[in-house]
Amino acid sequence: MVAEVALGGPSWPGALLVTGLVAAVAVTYRRRFTLVAVLSAFAVQFVVEVASLTRERPLEVTAGQMVAGLVLVYALCRWLTFPRLVVGMGVVLALVLPVEVIAGGWGGGLSLMVVWLVPAVLALAMRYRARLAEQRIREVRLLERNALARELHDTVAHHVSAIAVQAQAAGFVAGSRPEQAREAIGNIESIANQAMDEMRRMVGILRSGGQGGVAGLGEAVVPPDLTALGGPEGLPTVTVSGDTDLGVLPAHVAGALYRIAQESVTNARRHSRGVTSVEVDLRIRGREAHLEIVNDGQPDPAPGSGYGLIGMGERAEAVGGHLEAGPLGRTGWRVQAVIPLVGPR
């Protein structure tokens, strides 16, 4: 902790044991009780150092205690808010510097400050990096919430248009064919219920600031068929098979399936080395949609931010499904999603 080391002088085993134990406990609880742990360790060290100076019995400071001191300085600068950081660092310096100056002169105090500067700068850099990551996540969530709002508009417009058509038909045949009018009214009720269900899901996603904002889902308008993922000629070749017609599926299911497939193809192009083909397969089995995307590339050992996979998983969970993704071996990557066609009411 304090850099004063007695070389060849008399040791003080009892004090060394106490300071070592306190330092070990402080390091253990540096994340949970940062300020208390750091100040307790340096306070005990200060008392022992002062006692050793007054009794002319130099204290041997082990390499482990020095490392513990560096770890505690890092914790102080990394986890505390800036006001508490200033207070904590001020108290630590007030405890350590006077003893260092008395024991080793101003050179000793300056040497200690230079050594402590390394973990302090590293901790502040990590704080800055974490703050940038949090800001990026907030921005991505905001963009996705806007995309979901547009999807909500498209869903409502689709169902309201269908209701209007059925209402016109009911009014046209109400007098001459009452049975068809009743059928049209029943269709209106069914369409309205579906619209309400889908609006509840999307509004729930928009309201959940921590879970609804997900990344990598693209624009709100969903093409009616998965074959739109094929895109222009070139590598990788995107092959779409199975039940590719999204128009027959509920809007929230179609949107989730298309965005997951779209993000998977994008990830293959960006993060897989040597990829030549991407196979997208969608199968409707009973009341579930099973989507599988497989590419033949080699996973990039230095992947991106990971927001794409997080976004696909949250998109699947938002509509009651689940998603799995992982390598097939040394080459190849597979994404599998299962989404129910009818969500909970």
The better pLDDT of the pair 240, 139 is held by 240
Most confident range, picked from 46-60, 68-82, 200-214: 68-82
Is residue 89 very low, low, confident or very high in pLDDT (cuts 50, 70, 90)?
confident
pTM of the model: 0.42
**CA pair distance 334, 336, nearest whole angstrom:** 7
238-293 residue pLDDT tens:
889 999 898 888 888 888 898 898 888 878 877 777 788 899 999 999 899 999 99
State mean pLDDT over 119-128. Answer: 90
Tokens 């069914």 identify what position? 190
SS (H, E, C) the chain: CCCCCCCCCCCCHHHHHHHHHHHHHHHHCCCCCHHHHHHHHHHHHHHHHHHHHHCCCCCCCCHHHHHHHHHHHHHHHHHCCHHHHHHHHHHHHHHHHHHHHHHHHHHHHHHHHHHHHHHHHHHHHHHHHHHHHHHHHHHHHHHHHHHHHHHHHHHHHHHHHHHHHHHHHHHHHCCCCHHHHHHHHHHHHHHHHHHHHHHHHHHHHHHCCCCCCCCCCCCCCCCCEHHHHHCCCCCCEEEEEECCECCCCCHHHHHHHHHHHHHHHHHHHHHEECCCEEEEEEEEECCEEEEEEEECCEECCCCCCCHHHHHHHHHHHHCCCEEEEEECCCCCEEEEEEEECCCCC
What is the structure's pLDDT at 9?
38
291-315 residue pLDDT tens:
999 998 887 665 555 556 777 888 8
What is the structure's pLDDT at 213?
40
State mean pLDDT over 211-220. Answer: 39
What is the structure's pLDDT at 8?
35
Most confident range, picked from 91-95, 218-222, 265-269: 91-95
Tell me which architecture the domain covering 226-340 has in CATH: 2-Layer Sandwich (3.30)
Is residue 220 very low, low, confident or very high in pLDDT (cuts 50, 70, 90)?
very low
The better pLDDT of the pair 317, 229 is held by 317
Nearest to 243 by CA among 281, 193, 195: 281
The better pLDDT of the pair 59, 251 is held by 251
The better pLDDT of the pair 175, 35 is held by 35
Given a cut of 90, whether residue 323 has pLDDT beyond it is yes
Question: In the β-sheet with 277-285, what is the strand arrangement from edge to edge?
Answer: 237-242, 277-285, 288-295, 333-340, 322-327
Please give the mean pLDDT across all residues of the chain.
Answer: 77
What is the structure's pLDDT at 12?
57
Among 47-51, 316-320, 340-344, the least confident range:
340-344
Domain borders along the chain are 13-134, 138-207, 226-340
Residues near 100 by beta carbon (within 8 Å), at least 6 away in sequence: 2, 3, 4, 108, 109, 112
Given a cut of 50, whether residue 73 has pLDDT beyond it is yes
The CATH code for residues 138-207 is: 1.20.5
> CB–CB of 245/224 below 8 Å?
yes
